Amino acid sequence: LVCGHSLTGWVLSLQPAVSVGNVGQLAVDLVIATLHMSKAGYFYTDCLVPMVGNNPYATAEDNSGELSINAEVYSLPSKKLVALQIRSPFIKNKSRPFCEALLSWVKSSNCARVVLLSSSHAYQRDDEQLLGTPLRYLLTPDLEKAVGGLMQELNWKEMEKVAAYPGINDAEKILHIPGGGITKLLFTESCSKGIQMAVLLKFCSEGDNIPDAFALVNYLNEWLQLIKSESKNSSDVSSQWQIPSSWRLLFGNGLPPALF
């Protein structure tokens, strides 16, 4: 299914949900570019819209012509870290088969933990979610046992459950992640399959989502310390992330002068 080799003993698999503002994908871009992760293979699937393009992490002219596709795997052996980057949306009705294939790979590759980077519509928050930080986390029961105490130390806020039937029955609470794409499905399936998964997400709106990506990757770094920083100031940490060359084209080309 993917690059072939087992990830037994590897600590972490990092991957994005295709969610509002593409914040998870942008955050994974920052991790891959900054840590100079090398391409280990690709995730072969018919669930994503086909796509091919130049190397999004080109650092020089000689590697800019390398081709990249819709789902690729990058690795960093020194940190026992593997990252899956997804670059295109799901084909209609194919998100569930993709989740099944992805979790099957996670189980068969024996990677210890999975961190899913995601986002959710800011305008659909309830009153409780409007308070404090726009960042939230979720842990499956198996991961809660291992790192739950650390999240308390970091003073992180767990994603709140909301009323299933607001105004009718406020006692019944459900997990609701509007705009989160496959986030809820992957998380609930991981809970039932005994997979150690953490979801880190940010409430945001569509637009220029680069600041959201920096906020999410700094949030991830608070926990995993992927890059070391002496400062507690988030802007100081942000300056240490390397922006990939492909971000120059994030908003397309400028307006052609001929229009005016």
CA nearest neighbour of 227 among 26, 6, 76: 76
Strands 169-174 and 197-204: unpaired
What does the pLDDT read at residue 4? 47
Q: Name the fold adopted by 12-250.
A: Rossmann fold (3.40.50)
What does the pLDDT read at residue 23? 96
Model confidence at 236, pLDDT cuts 50, 70, 90, reads: low
Report CA 7 to chain centroid distance, whole Å: 19
**pTM (two decimals):** 0.89
Sheet (strand 197-204) strand order: 38-42, 71-76, 81-86, 12-16, 113-121, 197-204, 135-139
Q: Is 235 exposed, middle or buried (0-12, 13-18, 19+ CB in 10 A)?
A: exposed
Report CA 29 to chain centroid distance, whole Å: 9
Kindly write down the DSSP assignment for every residue of 207-256, as one continuous string. Answer: S--HHHHHHHHHHHHHHH-SS--S---HHHHHTTSPPPGGGGGTT-SPPP
Question: For residue 233, what are the β-bridge partners?
Answer: none
Q: Could you state, in order of their start, the residue ranges of all structural domains in the chain?
A: 12-250
Which residue in the block uniquely carries the two structure tokens 């997400």?
Answer: 201
Q: Which of 80-84, 108-112, 233-237 has the highest mean pLDDT?
A: 80-84
- Averaged pLDDT for residues 29-41: 94
CA nearest neighbour of 133 among 168, 166, 160: 160
pLDDT digit string (tens) for 157-216?
A: 999 888 777 777 777 888 999 999 999 999 999 999 999 999 999 999 998 999 999 999
> Is residue 1 scored above 50 in pLDDT?
no
